Amino acid sequence: MTGPEFQSSQGSDNARSAGTTGGRWSGENIQGTPYGNPTAADQAQAYSAPQGPGNGMPGYPGQYGNAGQPGPYAGAAMYPGYPTPPPSTKKKVVAALLAFFLGGTGAHNFYIGNKGRAIAQLIFLIVTWVIVIVGYSLIIAGTGTEMVATYSGETYYVDEDPDMIIGGGLLAILGYLMMGALWIWTMVEFIMILTSSGRYGRDREGYMLA
């Protein structure tokens, strides 16, 4: 079959093929749109806003409002805050007074429960007083002229010892410097108790000082 009759027959076959395949043949539909290319309706459906209250983000219903602002977390009500612990049986005023008047003995640290620091302060204080007492003893022993009587009745004089006096004076000064350092140490802790700073805001069990 040739000529017009062949062309007419080929056209009718193509039309029947397009009708049975939804308007697509040889990779194209009748209108010439490439096969498998999404239409405008399909694109609108694919990129449409997700459904839900306020068009929220997918997977997070109700988390975002209509304006896109974050709202309260949906599970926040399931995790209430920790209850406030009860106050300590130790009083802040008592600890502060002990630190101000008896700080060198570590009384305030014993009261709060910081036993290690309290023992360190007490030992520091004892060593300081021993150094001061020894220093003054050396000063007294090396000062002035002393008359010594022997069993035979003879007497002689012992002159002062400058080296002993100087050594005793240096020890006494060292003891006073250590006392000053201990006083500064306890005053810092006194301020920390008043401001509830660090370990001085709580007792040994972790409760806030009342």
**Domain boundaries defined on the chain:** 92-201
pLDDT digits (tens, 9 = 90+) for 140-188: 888 866 666 666 667 666 677 888 899 999 999 999 999 999 999 999 9
- Side chain identity at residue 8, one-letter code: S
Rounded CA-CA distance 160/191 in Å is: 47
pTM over 0.75: no
Confirm if 88 and 210 have CB atoms less than 8 A apart. yes
Rounded CA-CA distance 94/32 in Å is: 94
pLDDT at 1: 47
Taking the alpha carbons of 94, 118, 197, 90 in that order, is the dihedral positive or negative?
negative
pLDDT at 87: 82
Determine the average pLDDT of the residues in 43-52: 52
Rounded CA-CA distance 192/7 in Å is: 104
The token pair at 60 is 């997070």
pLDDT tops 50 at residue 63: no
pLDDT tops 70 at residue 70: no
pLDDT tops 80 at residue 19: no
pLDDT at 77: 46
